[in-house]
Amino acid sequence: MADYYELLGITRDASDDDIKRAYRKMSRKYHPDIAGPEYENKFKEVNNAYEVLSDPQKRQMYDAGVDPNNPNSGAQGFDVGDIFGQFFGSGFSGSGQQPIPRTQPGRDALADVTIDLKMAVFGGTAHAQIHTFGLCQTCGGSGAEKGEKPVTCPVCKGQGYAQKVVRTLLGQMMTTAPCERCEGHGTIIEHPCQDCQGHGRVRVRRDVGVTVPAGVADGSRLRLVSQGEVGEGGGSAGDLYIDVHIKADKLYTRDGDDLHCWISVPMTWAVLGHDVELETFDGQRELAVPAGCQPGDVVDLKDLGVTKMGSQDRGDILVHVMVQIPTKLSEQESSLIEQFAASHDSNAHEVAQSSKPLQGRKGLFGKIKDIFS
């Protein structure tokens, strides 16, 4: 007998809420639309486990060692009242079970959407393609053709269950089981809808608009209420969960609410200072590279980063400055550099060495500026 508790990853003393949470997690994990068609059997096993453990009577049977989903167990529909009913009368019988409703709530669905970094900064609307069960438009979810209504089952007279003799450890006993004619519903559909085969739902592919909040992080999961799978018999739809993925951007790297980029500037711009045009998600912005800027220095543009979740505030853009050192110089350029070296580095005989980054000596670029001026 399959271990339904192990399938859902719960203990035997799990509460109803624990079972529901575990089912939602495992059904999303093994849903064929997400995990792939090879997980269809695993998905069915998870559904079977939930069907048993979410029903108090079936769970009681299972805990007693009888699998209500196993037709060979001879105990489908069995409960403790069936035994007492054989000895003490029908007052203890479990035959008072209600017919199984044709309309069942739908399961949750899971999909992915990929957005660019700009949408993560400002928010917006993305679109996800999902393949799931939707309402049958031909019958409107009723499962019957031409507006027909289900009729009372002639076998069980609308009870949904029928008595049958089963063989148990105590001998042959009378118990109840779902009616084979109506499958426990108490009614039958004489002329099922040809499109949905009486299920009230069909497989559909839908384009779903997803409202992406400003500041959303990569890997976030968004919930769209009642946008998931439509249930049997046109039942209410489950929720749709959207996993958000953010594409790598060519200009910026995100770190929390800040954006980082790297620019390369000529040595003279770093020495003398220079204003540069920077492309941002808010359009062109002017960045002032300060005079004496060192390689690897960071210059920031305030409030042009990612919008902070639940706020109008934004992070910053942090610009890392890389300095281009010329590799070929004209005679005049070499002469100017040599003048600087004679003025500034005449006493230099050894290099400074440290296990940590060294700070440049103040006034270095100021002296270079004087030479170029």
Q: Which residues are annotated as a binding site?
A: 136, 139, 153, 156, 179, 182, 193, 196
> Are 296 and 312 contacting, i.e. CB atoms less than 8 angstroms apart?
no
Contact indicator for 91, 223 with CB cutoff of 8 Å: no
Phi, psi of 269 (to 5 degrees): -65, -40
Determine phi and psi for 161, rounding to 5 degrees: -130, 150
Which residue in 61, 85, 56, 86 sits closest to 73, CA to CA?
61
| Per-residue tokens: 97 | 């079970």
DSSP three-state, residue 282: coil
The Cα 231–Cα 45 span in angstroms is: 18
Neighbours of 297 (CB within 10 A): 16
* Torsion-angle region of 228 (φ positive above 0: left; ψ -120 to 50: alpha; else: beta): beta
Asked whether the beta carbons of 153 and 186 are under 8 A apart, the reply is: yes
Q: CA-CA distance, 219 to 118, in Å (whole number)?
A: 16
Structure tokens at 44: 């069915």
Task: Pick out the residues of the known binding site for Zn(2+).
Answer: 136, 139, 153, 156, 179, 182, 193, 196
AA letter at 65: G
User: What's the CA gap between 158 and 185, in Å, rounded?
Assistant: 8
| Beta carbons within 8 Å of 94's beta carbon, 6+ residues apart | 57, 77, 78, 79, 80, 81, 82, 85, 175, 176
Cα–Cα distance, 97 to 153 (Å, whole number): 16
Amino acid at 199: H
